[in-house]
Amino acid sequence: MEFESKIPEGPLEEKWTRYKRQAKLVSPANRKKITIIVIGTGLAGSSAASSLAEMGYKVKSFCFQDSPRRAHSVAAQGGVNAAKNYKNDGDSVYRMFVDTLKGGDFRAREANVYRLAECSLNLIDQAVAQGVPFGREYGGYLNNRSFGGVQVSRTFYARGQTGQQLLLGSYQALMRQVNSGGISLYTRHEMLDLVVDNGKARGIIVRNLDNGHIERHGAHAVILATGGFGKIYYLSTLAMGCNGSAIWRAHKKGALMANPSWTQIHPTSLPQLGAYQSKLTLMSESLRNDGRIWVPKKEGDERNSNEIPEEERDYYLERRYPAFGNLAPRDIASRAAKERIDAGYGIGAEKNAVYLDFSKAIKEQGIEKIREKYGNLFDMYKKITGFDAYKEPMMISPAAHFSMGGLWVDYELMTTIPGLFALGEANFADHGANRLGANSLLQACVDGYFIAPHTLQNYLSTEIHSGPIDTDTPAFEQAEKAVKAQIDNLLHINGDLTVDYFHKSVGKILYDKCGLARNEQGLKQAIADITVLRKEFFKRVRVPGKDTELNSELEKAGRVLDYLEIAELMCRDALQRNESCGAHFREEYQTPDGEAMRNDEDFSYISAWEYIGPGQTVLNKEPLCFEEIRPIIRSYK
């Protein structure tokens, strides 16, 4: 397949300005004639929908939650990055660009990464104007803190609730347009398929989750802002409802899937306590600003943490990465924790955790200062675990978290299907092989507020003569029939195993074979195991209830079926990339001291997978060209 990234010509710092200057426009009178569908009401979806409706377009907004406020952006904790240099510590747009590109192990486009850093400057002012209560210093100025992978303070935060506060800002903008008639809001509706007519995205098929009705909705353009697929691991920091179905079904209609194996394992989750758990709780990376991570130097040490003297503690991040210490990037911090745990130095009842210790920070700053910065996180930790982190260290462990991979998009955030755009975590565009902390809220907001309003106009300028989109066409009819046939099939398998059984099973395969570490033998075995599991699903899954009523098991069955296909592509993507980079750590490709060994000569590309049929995919490669920065060995020592 031929595909073009559409990166503008000219110097890096002028590309986005040049694009906006040359992009085509749609007049205010013509915007009223154009309909845009936005799937998802998180930060990317709500910001895009409200911005486009404010411009005069007719927008239809869909979410499967009962309120847009329940989108998973609400769960983000630690902060949002912006290169404001408020701390006067040497930060700049260029330094943020370098940090992000390096943090992603030089596996992202320079132009996209630079634009992310450039647009970050406007986001903070936008959020403050919306009333987001960012943390402030005594004099009233906005405060900053550091996150992993950087040596400056560029992260703006609202205690440990930054995602929630940013989402409330975009939600208010969304509901303002709903009340003014610019947005038609459809809650409790799930997208089940994308409709492609004459080569263009022309609408969606959705299911009303309350009554089971299947509906057709047409539009001149469709935006997917449906988040990532990290919940494929079952145990993750994501809510149970998070899924990858919207982007996967678009992939099966012709949208390329990029870098699907690059999924992030977050280093500071609460550890798993038993097989009964369905999710894990994230503890903000911001805690690593003041918390020190360690394990006992003695293997299998059973003593209480406070009984272990300082000289018998291994502050392994400070030991291995002295330049960044406890603020090493997430992929490195997670692998280092796994190495210590696997070596027999893990702590806790399951020996699957490490300590995050605040005793030094409390001694130096005082308990009230720590409470001011992290109080709600400490309260949450105590409520869940029963332990007081002011008096003893937290116990943390790596957990599946974020998808760097997603739908392939060009510079305009459009997929390989004309008229289909993907924003935020639904696309692959900005993070490379590893996302730096506090860049996900940034990307979601930047995509929705500052990029999509320009790039959609450029596309929609050719749609002003299309007229209303007719949903009574063969393309819509065929898509609706396929959706109904799959629902009917799922309900009539009538096997003896629950949907959760299959979700847990595929999650375990991925954790063991395509998680923090991968190898050729394990990936080949994973593909074989997933193939068997998928066949078993069609024979033995049991979905109770009917399709004409509220049926959460039917919802899950469709999503898990998609996971079984996504999982295989993840493993195939990991298998073909014979190198280690970012979150993709192939055990065969590492330095003598256990660090990732990148292969720029053979693998400096974006893997973009084309769907041919069940189990059949074709790999396309988008070469990565580095004109501004020469890729270097990624070192945080």
- Return d(Cα 312, Cα 187) in angstroms, integer: 55
CB 265 within 8 A of CB 401: yes
How many other CB atoms sit within 10 Å of the CB of residue 382? 15
The residues assigned a catalytic role are 330
Contact 183, 61 (CB under 8 A): yes
Query: Side-chain half-sphere of 399: how many Cα atoms within 13 Å?
Result: 27
> Is residue 627 helix, strand or coil?
coil
In the three-class reduction of DSSP (H, G, I as helix; E, B as strand; rest coil), residue 204 is classed as strand
Residue 149, phi-psi category: left (phi > 0), alpha (psi -120 to 50), beta (remainder): left
Distances (CA, A) of 599 to 253, 428, 454: 32, 20, 36
Q: What is the secondary structure of 519-572 as a DSSP string?
A: -HHHHHHHHHHHHHHHHHHHHHB---S-TTS--HHHHHHHHHHHHHHHHHHHHH
Dihedral, 254, 483, 403, 424 alpha carbons, nearest 10: 80
Single out the residue of 453, 443, 403 nearest to residue 246, CA to CA: 403
Q: Which residue has the tokens 């898509």?
A: 479
- Going by C-alpha positions, the residue among 319, 409, 318, 465 that lies closest to residue 7 is 409
Q: Quick one: tokens of 201?
A: 């995205």
Residue type, 494: N
Tokens at residue 539, please?
């024979």
Q: Can you tell me the distance from the alpha carbon of 144 to that of 136, in angstroms, rounded to the nearest whole number?
A: 8
Q: How many other CB atoms are found less than 10 A from the CB of residue 20?
A: 14
* DSSP H or E run through 414: none
Tokens of 147: 């996150």
Closest listed residue to residue 227, CA positions, set 17, 63, 464, 81: 63
